Structure 1
């Protein structure tokens, strides 16, 4: 019998559409983690001195690699977490767009700042890299979540370490492969196939300067606690229970259409898509009738089939979590249409609509990470805003109105990091992304995401 210290542990990935094992990935032991941390520290010392135009060139080559291999990347993602192939391809293309955005605009974002001093002389602000940044990423957008951390990391002159979700380790390995194809130097980006229990040790290592987390509230709390103990910067993008508010002046057909898209995108497993539909009393019945019919027409099935609207849930465990929430809602007196587990071997469930949920009750404060919407009636704009804010989360929001006064009220008074007006809320490389309250803090994307993990050094000069 081998010594326990030599035992090899595996991280297993499973196809949620069939329940079949896809692969076993060897988990890093302590020596393996140390080797990659040392490589990151060594790689950063060289990368921080790389000219901005060379960093931009790498990003452009990386975009090209993603585009050249988008079908392969997308297929792996679909196999591991169940999203439709067409949406997986769109995700890969979005990553390429982010790499190009930072290649084209990143150098200008890093131009020194300059201020004249009242007492004479000037001050400059220089953007300087800091070192290895650890990213703890989820399974729902295996490539995009990483790209919005990786693109600014490369441009900033930092290096990246990825602790990806166990269920998408094949996708994580492909990201490493794309970096190699683009010609990234050793240590610039490395995947750490580790489980959650090993994360604290990586955060505590002196070579790691900061942490970024996208995931559940619990994951964010655990990482933030360790980062706080180590006095390290952390950016958190956590859960959301986004309000989707519809007022009488809105285009009702378009609002219904986008509400359905919000709830079934990625089989409802998206942090920023509308989950709580808050509808003015004057149009509540009309909205609910059309929305319920449309949700009932959603097809769940083979994610490789072009005709499929949504694939399986990412895992049987995730489906069971959502089904448990629905059972709780019904026990509290809510009515559920649809939203049941579907027969067959995969982790499938149908789209559903919950009504009669107490807006001040426990269920209204939950994030349903699946294809089920809660629909609330609001007497007026004041009640709509009150219901929207009656949640511990504050990530995104979407409002539908053609009244200019109402638009301004919503933008000012909804407690969220983002508000979309008469459109579907989505992230974009050009705009900052992030939330408030228990949805986290800090920002990703745009110039703000680039600057989060950089040292803004003040330099005082005589003239």
Structure 2
């Protein structure tokens, strides 16, 4: 059993009430530890610590903030095995994939924003009216409340924390109630290099998050989560006119034209669509295929999907792990059990008869645009395949859902790819690939996928406010 604690003002402390909740290992379906069930008193302590630390951290020269973040990145890199222990036990994901794919990207984000701390843009001085010189300053916002999800606990924490700290803000982070362990360990590692109160972590449930969003010292709320959670948080934040940064659900369309390299598309998508058991807001969940190659693609893709292997964290041959919780498994099962009669499961379709929350990689064909499984975000190892007749119908189907986070188009035609990049109503468009993120480019969506961007200089600027100074 491994127990986590809150990290407040540089100290690790239990909830004031001493209440805890069990953490469940999704690969076994059994408890593996506990985390604090924090209440308003704990949230208040964390926010007050962040507010007290803010003036000093905001006034810290960017070069020193950079140095602190670089040292934190080095500490994260050195603690790879301990972080893998925490992440894998909470999520059940394959350990080798976390160490190979996620941890290096996490370290890179910290190092990118360490450099970006020294490159905040500001307008050059100029005289826009006689005898007066105007300057624009970019300044930190203040105390930032950040709420992160359970699918990539450490990565999403770093995507939020790194730009906020680089810009000179202080943070109160509430990780998911089911996967807090790696975020708590991150705070412990960072505490060696940051002043007390700059980064605080408060564990708890939805009520803890509600207390954090409502706290009067919080000036910006950033969340990665479901559309429903984003709507609730936006409504609560409006009461105090808090700034919002919302990265919400996805339901990514994939457009495969008849001139696409089918072997390449099948190879890439059969891996990318099921990575992390499909629990990814940019996962390739809706594959739209030109009608002339639909059957050929579907046959090849279903065959490859059937070979994708779910497995335990220590299974070196596993392509993905379990779903994160019993409730998430039930959500996926429910959507498959409610499929209309015209839909057909052509690969997978079942939960595995073993301990834990494992599910087969699943492909569903014959769906129609208004079906629940097309309109809703499954957030599991499930992909739908639909035909389209021409380019205009492809765009109509791709954009015909509430979400607008990411999409990809597969074609050898440059002009067609450029038309798609304009027509797809999403924050990200990939061409002949899917799912790749880099620290230098923004990650965010439109419509019900939220607003604001993680990563990139754009993401850094989201954690600043502009001040006009006239001399």
Task: Note if contact 2:43-2:211 (Cα within 8 Å) is conserved in structure 1.
Answer: no
Q: Does 1:229 align with 2:249?
A: no
- Out of 267, 285, 288, which is 1:278 matched to? 288
Q: Does 1:172 align with 2:172?
A: no
- Out of 316, 334, 359, which is 2:343 matched to? 334
2:7 aligned partner = none
- Out of 45, 65, 72, which is 1:55 matched to? 65
1:260 aligned partner = 270
- Out of 91, 94, 101, which is 2:102 matched to? 91
Distance 1:282 1:456 in 2: 53
1:195 aligned partner = 205
Q: How far 1:87 moved relative to its partner?
A: 2.3
Task: Note if contact 2:43-2:208 (Cα within 8 Å) is conserved in structure 1.
Answer: no
| Equivalences, count | 454
Task: Note if contact 2:40-2:211 (Cα within 8 Å) is conserved in structure 1.
Answer: no
RMSD: 1.5
- Out of 294, 311, 324, which is 1:314 matched to? 324
Q: Which runs of 5+ in 2 are unaligned?
A: 1-14
Distance 2:208 2:17 in 1: 16
Distance 1:427 1:332 in 2: 37
Q: Go from structure 1 to structure 2 and tell me whether the alpha carbon gap of 1:433 and 1:7 turns closer, same or farther (over 3 Å shift).
A: closer
Task: Note if contact 1:16-1:315 (Cα within 8 Å) is conserved in structure 2.
Answer: yes
Q: Does 1:248 align with 2:261?
A: no
Q: Go from structure 1 to structure 2 and tell me whether the alpha carbon gap of 1:114 and 1:308 turns closer, same or farther (over 3 Å shift).
A: same
Q: Secondary structure at the match of 2:218?
A: coil
Q: Secondary structure at the match of 1:325?
A: helix
Task: Note if contact 1:66-1:93 (Cα within 8 Å) is conserved in structure 2.
Answer: no
Q: Which runs of 5+ in 1 are unaligned?
A: none
Name the one with the larger strand percent: 2
Q: How far 1:428 moved relative to its partner?
A: 1.8
The more displaced of 373-382 and 249-258 is: 249-258
Distance 1:306 1:236 in 2: 35
State TM-score, norm by structure 2: 0.93
1:40 aligned partner = 50
1:114 aligned partner = 124
Q: Secondary structure at the match of 1:388?
A: helix
2:137 aligned partner = 126
Name the one with the larger helix percent: 1
1:12 aligned partner = 22
- Out of 402, 409, 414, which is 2:419 matched to? 409
Task: Note if contact 2:404-2:448 (Cα within 8 Å) is conserved in structure 1.
Answer: yes
Q: How far 1:115 moved relative to its partner?
A: 5.2
Distance 1:37 1:425 in 2: 35
2:116 aligned partner = 105
Q: How far 1:206 moved relative to its partner?
A: 2.1
Task: Note if contact 1:133-1:161 (Cα within 8 Å) is conserved in structure 2.
Answer: yes
